[in-house]
Chains A and B, each alone.
Chain A
Amino acid sequence: EEGSGAMGGSASLIPRDLLGEYQELTFLSKQEILLAYKRFSELLPKEERENACSARVPKSQILTLPELRANPFQHRICHVFSTSENRDDMSFEDFLDMLSVFSDSATSDIKSHYAFRIFDFDDDGTLDRKDLEQLVNCLTGQGEESQLSSAEMEQLIQNILEESDIDKDGTINLSEFQHVVSRSPDFASSFKIVL
């Protein structure tokens, strides 16, 4: 995915000290940051490409990226990583933050933290039954015939809570989530986006 010619061009658009800073503050390597810059500036209209570092891209544009367009959690991802008031656009630094969390070298602590935020659909700091129901519906797909029946959903949520709710309060808080995910062998390999 990386062409050295394009890299040469975009390397001159990120100042070197900023590049070093991004390398220090994220888990991305230099090539990955430059590639992210290239893909981010492609989302902007031509006039704004010069100062892509300070531009903001609306959510609708971000969701056209192939890495996100097939993802059922695309709206939650944009919502969690955006730093604006309305949470509907992303700056380049938000984009880098997102790629950093989803990269190969991010710690599992960070990944589980952000996974918790993404799955917390109502943003109240815990995963309750409604959050879990929405999560399962996202997994099985939108549409009437692809959702589980209410009896199956009940049984499934009961099983999930039994496995992960340690203090038996009916919700999963951050530490319980991190604990159950640390013992999940598939989490590290599935929670990954590489451009």
Chain B
Amino acid sequence: EEPHGAAPVDFLQELPSCQSARRRRGGTQERRPALRGTASSRGAAARELLPERGELPHRPAREHPDCMAEKRRMRNSQQAKTEQLSRWKKWKRASSKSLKKALSEVKGLSSYLVLWRHDIHSIEGKFGTGIQSYFSFLRFLVLLNFIIFILMFSFVTLPTIISKYGIFNSTIAYISPKNIEDICTIYEPNGNKGLVYFYTYLKDLLSGTGFLEVTSLFYGYYSIDAVWISIMRYNLPLAYLLATFAYLALSFLWIIKRSVEGFKHNLVHDADPFQSYCNKVFAGWDFCITDPHAARLKHRSLQYELQMDLQEEKLKQKIAERRMEEKLRIYSLRIFINIIVIAILSGCFYSIYRVTVFSQENSSVSIRNDTRTDLVNLLVQYLPSIVITLANFIGPLIFSFLIRFEDYTPAFEIKLTLLRCVFVRLANIGVLLFSLWSQISDCGSDKCKPCGYNYKLYPCWESDVGQEMYKLMIFDFIVILAVALFMDFPRKLLVTHCSCKLVQWFGHKEFEISDNVLEIIYGQTICWIGAFFSPLLPAIATIKYFIIFYIKKIVLIHTRKPAARPIRASSSNFFFLVVLLIGLLLAFIPLGVSIARIPSSKACGPFRNFNTSWEVIPDTILKFPTGLQQVLFGMASEAFAVPFFVILCIIMFYVIALARAHKRVVEQLREQLVLESRDKTFLIRKIAEAQ
């Protein structure tokens, strides 16, 4: 804590640690003409003292923090040195150099192929990296959905279409069903044959019934057991199931890879890296901002954020000093509010369940005569989507109102509200699916004795589930369009042109990143669940997100008011990917239940001849050679799984213990550094006194 002013400065310049830091910095002295004479000679002297000079790793010249002239000199001296090396080493260096050059050329060219590069760059310049991370996330989802679509299309849809039209000399093989009652195999979808009114097409387009039901959009189209392409046999059921697993695994791995990429920081330190003051101050300013207006907004938001954080710290101290009665009061209040939240959630879920049951029982597709009935019919079909969207809209409002009473710190308030909103959105989909299944497996009065599911109402239940997912997706898209057109733009016009006080107080709409992100993650979860029941759904999702990018960009540019609390790129990226991962893991559950538990429909689809969709795999394994079979069954048995689990636990404990030991060493070294620094200033003071 002794100020350096107490000790003469040139003493400190001569310390070996200072010299080595300066040597690492390289030509710093070239940029400081005042010290040029003394310092460079000192630097030269230091270089003679320190033996590491000769063993400096071959750092390319451009990684030296120097001006161009210095770097040129360094490169020439490096080249002079390589002349002395053996021929092998020379060739190695030259080839690695040319390889690096080729790679950078390829990288330069491939940067042109990146989608929306210019748009995202201009958004970054006007609004900073926080909002830019939202648009990069959208771009990632477009690409992900496109790849999933290519996967499903090439392995499932393409062979089916090829065989149905007989291209490449292909034929379809139908295996006659065994041990299945005939009554389960009756399935007559209305293909809208004959003369129909135009609005029937529109209605079918919106609800996935009628002519859409028999296209390759839905599961029912793929009622094929195998495809023969000249002499090769293509097992379509197996391909369907494996393509499903493949797209789930691909999404999982890609998300994990992205979250690790942008998140390289040390987990050894206890403090939260996103909330550290150093992060906010040293990395606070987005150097890519080009717009003066955006810069003003950024200044204000930085000031606001720093002040909020300082206040929050004081609040934390106050909380730590709370008395016992205070604590009891607050905890009981929190429990009470959580009970209210749970009650609201249960109300939501119950209403979704009832509405789904009502919609399934009362929507009938075959009535075409009366327009009015058709519209009402459409409304009834969309009722679950409407109720879910209402719940998704009202829930967050109630949560943000209630959390004020719970007396948390502002940062924790935001996190908890976000968590609750995420839960509401994702759980709503789960409840919808659960209510659908309860209908499908409704075995009340022996309705599903022959086939294992309610075959009268749902001869092809997978197509029905696919239709529900399709309706959810279309309705979600319509809602986003409608909100942008009918709420954001009129609001902006009103605020700009009408100067009455009430309207001005209402103000511009802020671009709330978290709400927008939850919206698109909700859509993505629907896509993941629905892609099994409707293989072309990812294509619709790709187009949907493509259009949403432009809508959101236009809304942002015209309403132009980023949120008051600044969003940081790294923490938002991490947040998006974590919530997306939660959505993916939640999507595994309904898919797992559909594939493994519920009997597949016997009237349509590639799994007609199996009890459940999963049965394809054990069936295929039984056709493998016995050796391989034994290995695979061995891997799935307890004799293998338990020791594997135990070994994993041991490795995990070892790694945790290692991390703890490292942490202790880091703490000790820090303490030592502090002591050394104190020793240093003490000794310097003594020397100065002695002089």
Contacts and interface: CB of A to CB of B under 8 A. Distances in A.
A109 B4 CA distance: 27
Interface in A156-195: 156, 159-160, 163-164, 166-171, 173-175, 177, 180-187, 189-194
Majority secondary structure of chain B interface residues (helix, strand, loop or mixed):
helix
Given A70-B290, A139-B284, A146-B303, A168 B674 contact: yes
Given A159-B277, A168-B677, A109 B569 contact: no
Contact of A169 (B4, B62, B108, B295): B4
B281 interface: yes
A25 interface: yes
Q: Which of A94, A126, A140 has the most CB of B within 10 A?
A: A140
B80 interface: no
B295 A70 contact: yes
Contacts of A73: 285, 287
B288 A194 contact: yes
A127 B121 CA distance: 32
Contact of B1 (A80, A107, A169, A193): A169
Given A102-B287, A114-B65, A166 B569 contact: no
A72 B295 CA distance: 9
Nearest to B21: A174
Interface in B647-675: 670, 673-674
Contact of A24 (B61, B263, B274): B61
B287 A97 contact: no
Contacts of A159: 277, 313
B266 interface: yes
Majority secondary structure of chain A interface residues (helix, strand, loop or mixed):
helix
Contact of A183 (B266, B285, B307, B568): B266
A189 B569 contact: yes
A81 B303 CA distance: 28
A160 B287 contact: no
Contacts of B283: 181, 184, 186-187, 190-191
B277 A160 contact: yes
Contacts of B21: 173-175
B93 to A, nearest CB: 13
A181 B282 contact: yes
A97 B62 CA distance: 9
A168 B262 contact: no
B7 to A, nearest CB: 11
A119 interface: yes
Contacts of A171: 4
Contacts of B609: none
B75 to A, nearest CB: 7
Nearest to A177: B282
A123 B568 CA distance: 30
Interface stretch (A5-13, A27-35, A36-44, A55-63): A27-35
Contacts of A31: 108
A70 B1 contact: no
A52 B327 CA distance: 70
A140 B75 contact: no
A23 B298 CA distance: 34
B689 interface: no
A166 B72 contact: no
Nearest to B274: A185
Given A31-B108, A168-B1, A66 B290 contact: yes
Interface stretch (B25-33, B178-186, B353-361, B455-463): B25-33
Contact of B303 (A70, A71, A140): A140
Given A70-B289, A141-B299, A166 B75 contact: no
B250 to A, nearest CB: 26
Interface of B: 1-4, 21, 25, 30-33, 60-63, 65, 67-69, 71-72, 75, 101, 104-105, 107-108, 118, 121, 125, 129, 262-266, 269, 271, 273-274, 276-279, 281-292, 294-296, 299-300, 302-303, 306-307, 310, 313, 568-571, 574, 670, 673-674, 676-678, 681
Given A152-B307, A163-B276, A184-B265, 4 more contacts: A23-B104, A70-B295, A100-B62, A140-B302
27 contacts: A24-B62, A25-B61, A25-B75, A29-B104, A66-B290, A72-B285, A83-B31, A107-B63, A139-B302, A139-B306, A140-B299, A140-B306, A152-B306, A160-B278, A166-B674, A175-B21, A184-B276, A184-B278, A184-B279, A185-B264, A185-B265, A185-B273, A186-B284, A186-B568, A186-B571, A189-B262, A189-B569
Interface of A: 1, 21, 23-27, 29-31, 66-67, 69-73, 80-81, 83, 85, 93-94, 96-97, 100-102, 107, 109-110, 113-115, 119, 123, 126, 132, 135-136, 138-141, 146-148, 152, 155-156, 159-160, 163-164, 166-171, 173-175, 177, 180-187, 189-194
